[in-house]
Structure 1
Amino acid sequence: MISAPLPLLAKEASLGKPSRLYTEPFKDAAVIATLSATSTVKVLERKGGWSRIQHQQSEGWIRTLDLRFGKSAEGSVVADTFGLATGRAGSGNVVATTGIRGLDEEDLKSANFSAEQISLAESYRIDASVAESAAARAGLQSTTVEYFEDITNATPAARRHDR
């Protein structure tokens, strides 16, 4: 998890869309409020893909991807740092991004079985002959890739040899 101290964060941000303010940094936490897309917030802390923010008298957690750190962050440490790093200092075009990969522990804990979603995923499946025909029309050639041998229980010498 990424956690950054307050001085490294933009003091203010705006929302790019209506967003829910949660009591905790989890999708299944209680919702405190729904903020409008025109809301301006103060970022207090970041943790993974979540930011703890203050909006008027409310404080809670919001998905960091819902925040926009543009002109409202000008003059902050983040804006100045990004400006220097990107060569956009003073241009007003500073952009901050957040990358989040995969599923975290909370996503897995809150996952529920959905027969409807399984059916939807299966509806995208095509037969091998259809895939081969499409690949041939695109000029692609078939390649066989051998599976790697499982060396988790191999001796250290065998592991070095296989690399």
Structure 2
Amino acid sequence: MKRLIAACLALGFIASAAAEEAITLRSTELKAKPYSDAQTLLTLPERSKVQVLQRRASWTQVKSGKTTGWVKMLSLQLVRGTTQRRADNGLRSLFNVAQTGRGGSTVTTGVRGLSEEDLKNTKPNPQELEEAKQYAATEAEAKRFAMAGKLKAQQVDYLPGGER
């Protein structure tokens, strides 16, 4: 678990050096700065092609035409020539569902949009991990939160071969 947290923290600080292409998944505002209340430069229509320049937290700096600004990461889908869909992807997905009971498409904000090279070049940051641990809820806090939200406990089994 510690390794996973460390990897996620390290991934959060990586900025991609190579420009990538992306398309907007929905109509989205291009902001002057990576903040929700920043000035809106223009509104990009759905399926607009943009060039990805860098990432910062949940924001991505993009260039559309001559305008550069920031959009929310979840409003973009990266376009990669090296990862185009292959004809056998449907069969692979079917096999994955049969084998694991899942379709295999899982996206988390911490790693969305990172290339394989970005993932390979990560370096752990123990200081950031220790700082992140300070934000963890205690068991008592978690129980109070769950009770306030009328949540019910569920047993979730570990994956085979996983560490506890």
Q: TM-score range by the shorter chain?
A: 0.3 to 0.5
TM-score, normalised with respect to structure 2: 0.45
